[in-house]
Structure 1
Amino acid sequence: MSRWALPLLALALLATVAAAPMVSGTEQVQQPAVRVAYVNSQLILQQTPGYHQAESIYTREVQSYQQELDRLRQQLDSTIRAYNQRAIGLSQSDRQAREQEIRELQQQLDQRTRELTERANERERELVAPLEERVKAVIEGLRAERNLAIIFDVAAPGNGIIAADRSLDLTATVIQRLRQSQ
């Protein structure tokens, strides 16, 4: 799905719902107004109790991954420098052996980078998922309580919202309820 599909779908839904009362016919049915609101999920998540602790844990773990990758890069760089300094005096077979060693070190670095990136992404999901679930539960509760049809996230990429009435912003209310439930 393209990055524009969801915002366009949301706008089409709003246009359809808004235009429904304007349809003329022999019998005009008064449709209830669609109630909408919005939140800034990034701001909410950053203000959620436990977020800073999770972020600190994640940062510490990622720093250790980065240090490991830095050591591997230094080893590779050192091997390349040594090869470049001695390449002229090496026999063809020694040169090929050193080049193979460099390729293997590069492959090890690439593989370890992929592994640690995957591990970091998984760890981020582990740390953030419980917080996101709490946020979603509070937002869903507010949606039901206020009889809202849709709550948009202005922080979502490509959300399509350019301007909105600030009275429809539930961000502060969500943050307040998250803090109260702590």
Structure 2
Amino acid sequence: MSANGRNDVRLIKKYPNRRLYDTRTSSHITLADIRQLVVSEEPFQVIDAKTGEDLTRNILLQIIQEAESDGEPIFSSEMLKGIIRFYGPFQGVLTSYLEKSIQSVIEVQTQAGVQSTQAWTDFMQSQAPMMQDLMRQYVEQSKKLYLNTQNMFGIFSGFTGKTGGKKDGDEGQS
């Protein structure tokens, strides 16, 4: 056992036939089982059985994709488009924002002791429009700050913030 007691990371192997094998229980498991590990906060790692490559992130994305396909999705098409637009210069900003926001929600849930209750669901749904508006405002302010900084140094002169295309004789407006 390590000094912090963390030799308990569950190792899941993914085989070429797409089956997942839990080395702790010596049995095959499903994505639903891995989702339950996440929910119960049990540490695990998924690796490719042949190469040893860490596939944990890929498996988590698969679980999210399945959850988004079933029932009511968390991510609207507009939100997904917004996330895609963030890849590039603002990627770190969004990553940090989302991680902190999700951690804050988890902390509030834990403190209030209302995990998975209808009251919590109702509360979060009532807060969604406000949170979306705050995020939109934050994104707009960040975008303006970034573009103003770049324009101050003449890096993107002749480009607009809306299309990124050149406009002859036009100096994009804020």
TM-score when normalising by structure 2? 0.27
Q: Greater helix share, 1 or 2?
A: 1
Structure with more of its chain in strand, by fraction:
2
TM-score scaled to structure 1, two decimals? 0.26
